[in-house]
Amino acid sequence: MSLVTRARQAFKRRYRRWVDRRTRVVSVSRLNHRRLYIFPTKAGFAFLALVGAMWLLATNFENNLVFLLSFLLLAFFVVSIHFTHATLSGLTVRPVRAESVFKGEAAAVELCLAQLRARRREQLVLRFAGGDPVMAAVEKSGDTFVTVLAPTSHRGYLEPELLTIDSVYPVGLLRVWTHIRFRFDAVVYPSPIVDRIAVRNRRGKGEGHYEGTSGSEDYVGLKIYEVGESLRHVAWKQYAREQGLWSKQYGDLVDSRVWVDWDTFDGMDTEQRLSRMCWQVCECEASGGVYGVRLPGMEMAPDRGMPHRQKALKRLALHGIDKRTGANDEAS
């Protein structure tokens, strides 16, 4: 690794630490001169080098025309500073919603870019650290919605890396940017790991459903009499009322609930257990079964349906994670 590469990486690390110290979690970010950074791009430095060379050439040959051209180009550069800065200045950025995903997937985050007056802002590039950039434009007054993908690397609350918004509009000589850190209500579920260990069932009186058996004493209901059935099961009262020939049906109470239990995976660490429990929750929901979740100090009653699935996955995602405090608004 060359000395220049090492110096560049060390500078990036120091800059990142400096940005992290300055960037606090917010719920709304209003972009102004305190929030924006601006610096020449590579093309901007090349432009300044060209102007400097022209100025030296004009000085050496005492050429007033080249002097005039040099000052015009320098004035053009100075004016472009204000136009580039104005591309982001005055925008208000706030999160709208974010989807909950499994660890390792990219979460779709919807952001709102708002401005009070209609103003054309082009080539706005939004990206979360490690994610793909999205280019947007804002023209009308009011709200403009943009969806950006945020990579995930750990379970729990969705806490993506810094959101960077930048632009080189209109001439590409300067880059203006800002860093924002938002807080979201979405969660990142454990990454599912396939595990076909039989989950534990529990039988209990008054729970589950009846399964017909001939030797049971629990009366379930009536069904049409079939030839060959025992006459002891014939519903004689209904027959005497001329309601037809019916047969009494008996059954045993069978508990069909499935328990996704923490103790099923003894000997595994926390993340391995949660990943396997996450897969079992998805399998139970896909099969249409009734299931509950048992975690240390918590038991989630059996049920089914998408709201129950999301609640169960959220319990798994937030297991062992402390509650967090709210975010602040940036008023200035």
Looking at residue 31, its pLDDT comes to 92
Are residues 124 and 52 part of one domain?
yes
Looking at residue 261, its pLDDT comes to 87
Cα separation, 276 vs 273, whole angstroms: 5
From residue 174, how far is each of 166, 169, 280 by CA, in Å?
Answer: 10, 8, 52
Two structure tokens written together for 215: 């030797």
Residue 204 lies in a domain: no
Looking at residue 73, its pLDDT comes to 94
Mean pLDDT of the region 185-206: 68
Residue 67 lies in a domain: yes
Are residues 265 and 247 part of one domain?
no
Containing 191, the helix (H) or strand (E) segment is: none
Q: Each residue of 92-140: pLDDT tens digit?
A: 999 999 999 999 999 999 999 999 998 889 999 999 988 899 999 998 8
Q: Give 82's pLDDT tier (boundaries 50, 70, 90).
A: very high
Contact yes or no for 118/132 (Cβ under 8 A): no
Q: Each residue of 197-247: pLDDT tens digit?
A: 654 444 434 444 444 444 455 565 666 767 767 667 677 677 677 677 777
Are residues 113 and 46 part of one domain?
yes
* Amino acid, res. 95: P
Contact yes or no for 253/210 (Cβ under 8 A): yes
Residue 298 lies in a domain: yes
Q: Give 36's pLDDT tier (boundaries 50, 70, 90).
A: very high
Mean pLDDT of the region 47-54: 94
Strands (E), 217-263: 219-224, 246-254, 258-261
Q: Each residue of 14-32: pLDDT tens digit?
A: 877 877 777 788 889 999 9
Residue 4 lies in a domain: no
CATH number of the domain encompassing residue 112: 2.60.40.3770
Residue 246 lies in a domain: yes
Residue 14 lies in a domain: no
Looking at residue 11, its pLDDT comes to 80
What is the overall mean pLDDT for the chain?
83
Cα separation, 111 vs 213, whole angstroms: 58
Are residues 268 and 245 part of one domain?
no
Of residues 325 and 257, more confidence is placed in 257
- Listed in sequence order, the DSSP H helices in 23-119 are 42-61, 64-88
Are residues 130 and 233 part of one domain?
no
Are residues 183 and 37 part of one domain?
yes
Number of domains in the chain: 3
Are residues 230 and 119 part of one domain?
no
Structural domain range at position 225: 209-254
Q: Give 180's pLDDT tier (boundaries 50, 70, 90).
A: very high
Looking at residue 248, its pLDDT comes to 72
* Amino acid, res. 99: E
From residue 203, how far is each of 252, 255, 281, 292 by CA, in Å?
Answer: 11, 5, 20, 13
Are residues 161 and 43 part of one domain?
yes
Are residues 128 and 95 part of one domain?
yes
Are residues 229 and 298 part of one domain?
no
Residue 326 lies in a domain: no
In the chain, % of residues over pLDDT 70: 83
Q: Give 63's pLDDT tier (boundaries 50, 70, 90).
A: confident
Are residues 300 and 236 part of one domain?
no
Looking at residue 324, its pLDDT comes to 67
Residue 328 lies in a domain: no
Query: Is 0.85 topped by the overall pTM?
Result: no
Query: What's phi and psi for 311, nearest 5 deg?
Result: -65, -40
Of residues 55 and 21, more confidence is placed in 55
Lowest mean pLDDT among 161-165, 191-195, 211-215, 311-315: 211-215
Are residues 43 and 163 part of one domain?
yes
